[in-house]
Structure 1
Amino acid sequence: MKFDAVLIEPRRARMEAEGLWPGKTLLDYFEMRLAEKPDALALTAFTVATGARADLTWAEMDRLSWRAAAGLHRLGLGKDDVLACQLSNSWQFVVLYIACRKLGVVFNPLMPIFREHELLFMLRHGEAKAFVVPKLFRGFDHEAMAEGMRGSLPDLEHVIVMGGSGANSFDALLQDPALEATPDLRAISARDRGDANDVCQLIYTSGTTGEPKGVMHSANTMYANLVPYAERLGLGAGDVVLMASPMAHQTGFMYGFLLPVMLGARMVLMDSWDRVLGAQLVAQERVSFTMASTPFLMDLSTTVEELGTDSSSLRIFLCAGTAIPGAVVERAQRILGTKVISAWGMTENGAVTLVSPSDPDERSINTDGFPLPGIELQVRGPDGQVLPTGQEGELYVRGCSNFGGYLKRPHLNNVDDAGWFDTGDIARIDAQGYIRICGRSKDIIIRGAENIPVIEVESILFKHPAVQSVAIVGYPDERLGERACAFVVPKAGQDFSFDDMQAHLKAHHLAVQYWPERLEVRQALPSTASGKIQKFALRKMLRQEMGLE
């Protein structure tokens, strides 16, 4: 595969001169840990369905990753080939990525929830040469699906099955002890492992706006984010990092895997979220840091309150992806004793704005943080001019953690000649440099020339005791141009009516012009693997139901 990461070289000299690109790869950090404490516990992985636990030291991870590297080499994978992986959080995921880096193989993590529709596009576009899947995950036969797609994927040479029993199993192909005797493997690794500017990860956008794009990252673009991220949060080798968010998503991959390796901290992995086990692990493993979306925080608070488990070790819970209701922050602090940190980021940039642990809680409630070192922000108006403090506009980012570009689609990179990346988000910046994400540029609803503050209305509706989740989208109107529709998922056993919505908005003194004219009550809303509601899907659904498509 030839990678057109055109956004890396033009900024390389400046990033290196300013010390913003560390120049280290995962293997550099991993080998430091291996030299410092080979027999220390590095990884603990839990399988929720069976309760199985696996523990690995740094030395054991190294040995298993060399076996896997030998197996991949025997299958013909080498530098710049793409290996796609649909595994849940597990020691096999970790070992597989380390093995890929030892050979210069580019790693393409894919969410376990994806099926043929998404996978055929991604595997074909990324020219995956090997595809690693679980035999079964949550009752679904991934092996049968993968084998069924092979005829439509001319580049795919190997399907490797974790938990399989045949010749194509992960254990047979990548964990046979005889692989340790593979000749010249160290020399091959020294030649092909590459440097910090090589593309090492291909990860597809979560698709909140339509067809996914293949984001290319190097070690430098990812660690340029991780180094200042850890410094801002005060994280170090003594921390225990819990990760239940999928490692096939950048949250899990960067902050549940790359971050603890960089720090020499221990990682505790869950293959899926279970609130009771999560609370127990915080207590038993003395977890000090985790990063997840707001529903995880709500679950953990509820469970610790119910069970009375010890959460005193949990110093920081970082939430990104959506605004955090003040009541959630206050409850988490009261029950868990943890500091809730808000953040904003994208697959293309990592988490680039964070609240500081020393900030008052209201900063996590009312803002999405301020930029990490090496990141600049601009808010621009419709004609491209930079807007004054406090005004809402389109958010642009320029900095060290920006990605290398979209695979085979450089025309979609959204980066101007000065290096500014158009995020597609609407935001404002306050006088202290903190941002607030106000929505996506395509989420703006303009009713009769009046901009509807979508995020504000959603936040008010979320406060209703019967509302579990809410999303507001626009639909066409001949007279006003657009009107607003609220999609609501009620809490279990609760009802929510149009009259309830209007009474609630009236009680919160929201201008009548901002009230949604339509309510759709659903059991669930379409969302990405990371939990972001897909408003483009809601708009399409609404138009179809109204007979407009």
Structure 2
Amino acid sequence: MFQSSSGWGSEVVESTLHGHPCLMYATRPRSLSDVLDASLRWSDRVFLVQGERRITFAQHHRAVQAVANRLREYGVGEGDRVALYAANSHEWVTTFFATIALGAVAVPCNGWWAGAELAHACGVVTPTVVVCDERRAERVPPELRRIALTDLVTDDVWDAPAAARLPNPADENAPAVVLFTAGTTGFPKGAVLAHRSLIANLQTLLVVSRKLPHEIADDAPESVTLVGLPLFHIGAIQLILVPLMTGGRVVFPAGRFDPEEVLRLIDREGVTMFSGVPTMADRLLRHPDAAGREYPTLRTVVLGGSPVSDELLERVSTTFPNSRRRVGRTYGLTEAGGVVSTGVGEQVAARPGTSGRLGPVVEVRISEPGADGEGEVLVRSPSSMDGYWGLPGDPTLDADGWIHTGDLGRLDDDRFLYITGRRKEVVIRGGENVSAVRVETVLHEHPDVAEVAVIGLPDPDLGEIVAAAVVPAAGAEPTAGELERWARASLAHFAVPSRWWIRAEPLPVNDAGKVVKARLAQEWPD
């Protein structure tokens, strides 16, 4: 049976988490398995769509139990890590929930990683198994146990007999997911998200949209969400969690984001909600099919992951007029477990530049604010990570539970947040975080490179692109093509610089000897 609506509420109380103060929902589930069981309320509804394949909530629930038992046969137990290295699919979703139902820890891996990045992540979390698709199998380190996704999730699991509920951790603070995110110091770091983290973020989304279980009827019209983000992003994971509680349908494109296919799916599937990064929205709006027909079902478009301009939101409203009242922005990050602030329609239109209002259990403190109230954004909430896997004491999360985001912003008296810039050395290319330090480290290893600095340059399509300024070693004459090939051998495709400045003069530095990257950006040749 699914959990009754008594397991959810909107009342916020002051509580304690890991020894520090924290706002919490007074009434909340304690395990993601409870969320999965709640989906049986919608047993006969379609949950997942990709191409012609359609999976109901009941089929998905049975498949999760069957795949969890198979993982157990592979030696996966409570607390073990299962790395997921595959493209978006029904099988990916099922394996993700099966891992969590088993009490193990799901580790979604960036499907665009090069072999070195995957090897690093696996070295950090030491997975019991790596579940991968055929395209990525060759990149899995040979010393790791590899399972083909199609061997684990076979066609018979969708109609497997219902199994007994697997035991799951009673501790809501038990790790559920490790999500890797590019930091400022090199290889990606794995943010540890507990059951509590993902449930608190889900509960916030249900509260602000007024879709707690007792607020929606059993025969409520279904929402249809198109998920164009890769499932190794926190933004995509929250999009597959919400429908478990609301009975909505999730639609996946066949492969990587393609504007023509997405517009076709919006029309064919009656998509009501799209959430993605600004680059995706811009590409949709530029496609000829966007202006050539109407999309009356699309009512909600929420963008985040990188800066979202007021001009882009207006273009979305104009192209998809039925969404005008629910076009908006969101601000969040992996370390915060998802959404920090969100706003749509008049909330955003009346406050140009805002990223929306803070979630009910989210606290924000502005560190060292200037005269205009702007400073570094610090975030604390029950959704926040419990640190990085294998990196105790990392300063991103301080002893009082504040996450130091590295983003600059200000907060008004009505709890509306405005993000104004960044302190950390991360380039956000099309919604993907790229560590400038990591790219610099790889390029420094080239024998013909003496100095290198990596920055983000504005781009109308991707928001930012990765750019590298290189000073050759004495007597060397490296070309941009040579350096690009070198970078591709060690970096994900989105982290490889697409703009190069090979210069004879040394990089500009300040009195402390640090490269002045702002000057490089100002002087970058056309």
* TM-score normalized by the length of structure 2: 0.73
Q: Which residue pairs with 2:205 in the alignment?
A: 229
Alignment partner of 2:25 out of 19, 25, 32: 19
1:432 aligns with 2:402: no
Distance in 1, matches of 2:454 and 2:128, equals 46
User: CA-to-partner distance for each residue in 1:77-126, whole Å, 9 max, x for gaps?
Assistant: 11111000012111001111221122111100011111211101001100
Task: Give, as a single letter, the amino acid of the residue that structure 1 aligns with 2:398.
Answer: D
Alignment partner of 1:487 out of 453, 457, 465: 457
Please state how far the C-alpha of 1:304 moved relative to its aligned partner.
Answer: 6.6
Task: Give, as a single letter, the amino acid of the residue that structure 2 aligns with 1:108.
Answer: V
- The answer to whether the 8 Å contact 1:342/1:369 transfers is yes
Pairs within 5 Å for 1:24-173: 24-34=30-40, 36-46=41-51, 53-136=52-135, 142-146=136-140, 149-151=141-143, 156=144, 158-163=145-150, 169-171=151-153
- The answer to whether the 8 Å contact 2:29/2:35 transfers is no
Any idea what SS the aligned residue of 2:385 has?
coil
Q: Which residue pairs with 1:359 in the alignment?
A: 347
Pairs within 5 Å for 1:437-456: 437-442=419-424
User: CA-to-partner distance for each residue in 1:50-71, whole Å, 9 max, x for gaps?
Assistant: xxx3100111112222221121
- The answer to whether the 8 Å contact 2:290/2:319 transfers is no
Please state how far the C-alpha of 1:491 moved relative to its aligned partner.
Answer: 7.5
Q: Which residue pairs with 1:407 in the alignment?
A: 389
Q: Which residue pairs with 1:294 in the alignment?
A: 278
Q: Which residue pairs with 2:329 in the alignment?
A: 342
Please state how far the C-alpha of 1:326 moved relative to its aligned partner.
Answer: 2.6
Task: Give, as a single letter, the amino acid of the residue that structure 2 aligns with 1:268.
Answer: V
Q: Which residue pairs with 2:474 in the alignment?
A: none
Q: Which residue pairs with 2:307 in the alignment?
A: 323
Q: Number of paired residues?
A: 440
Structure 1 pair 264–336 and aligned structure 2 pair: CA distance change class (3 A): same
Distance in 2, matches of 1:131 and 1:289, equals 32
- The answer to whether the 8 Å contact 1:415/1:422 transfers is yes
Computed over aligned residues only, the root mean square deviation of the Cα atoms, in angstroms, reads 4.1
1:260 aligns with 2:260: no
- The answer to whether the 8 Å contact 1:86/1:132 transfers is yes
- The answer to whether the 8 Å contact 2:88/2:252 transfers is yes
Task: Give, as a single letter, the amino acid of the residue that structure 1 aligns with 2:68.
Answer: A
Alignment partner of 1:212 out of 180, 188, 210: 188
Q: Which residue pairs with 1:463 in the alignment?
A: none
* TM-score normalized by the length of structure 1: 0.70
Please state how far the C-alpha of 1:179 moved relative to its aligned partner.
Answer: 12
Stretch moving more, 483-492 or 226-235 = 483-492
Please list every run of at least 4 consecutive aligned residues from structure 1 whose deviation after the TM superposition is greater than 4 angstroms. 12-18, 174-182, 192-195, 234-237, 304-307, 483-486, 488-492, 531-534, 537-549
Please state how far the C-alpha of 1:246 moved relative to its aligned partner.
Answer: 0.4
Any idea what SS the aligned residue of 1:150 has?
coil
Pairs within 5 Å for 1:453-492: 487=457
User: CA-to-partner distance for each residue in 1:214-243, whole Å, 9 max, x for gaps?
Assistant: 111112112212222233245566321110
Structure 1 pair 16–355 and aligned structure 2 pair: CA distance change class (3 A): closer
Distance in 1, matches of 2:235 and 2:306, equals 14
Task: Give, as a single letter, the amino acid of the residue that structure 2 aligns with 1:107.
Answer: A
Please state how far the C-alpha of 1:13 moved relative to its aligned partner.
Answer: 8.7
Q: Which residue pairs with 1:378 in the alignment?
A: 365
Distance in 2, matches of 1:196 and 1:373, equals 19
Distance in 2, matches of 1:62 and 1:486, equals 43
Distance in 1, matches of 2:193 and 2:503, equals 38
Task: Give, as a single letter, the amino acid of the residue that structure 2 aligns with 1:302.
Answer: R
Structure 1 pair 435–144 and aligned structure 2 pair: CA distance change class (3 A): same
Distance in 1, matches of 2:127 and 2:455, equals 41
Distance in 2, matches of 1:268 and 1:546, equals 52
Q: Which residue pairs with 1:239 in the alignment?
A: 223
Task: Give, as a single letter, the amino acid of the residue that structure 1 aligns with 2:349.
Answer: D
**Percent identity (aligned):** 23
Task: Give, as a single letter, the amino acid of the residue that structure 1 aligns with 2:142.
Answer: R
Distance in 1, matches of 2:307 and 2:56, equals 38
5+ residue gaps in structure 2? 1-14, 429-435, 441-452, 463-479, 508-514, 516-526
Please state how far the C-alpha of 1:20 moved relative to its aligned partner.
Answer: 5.4
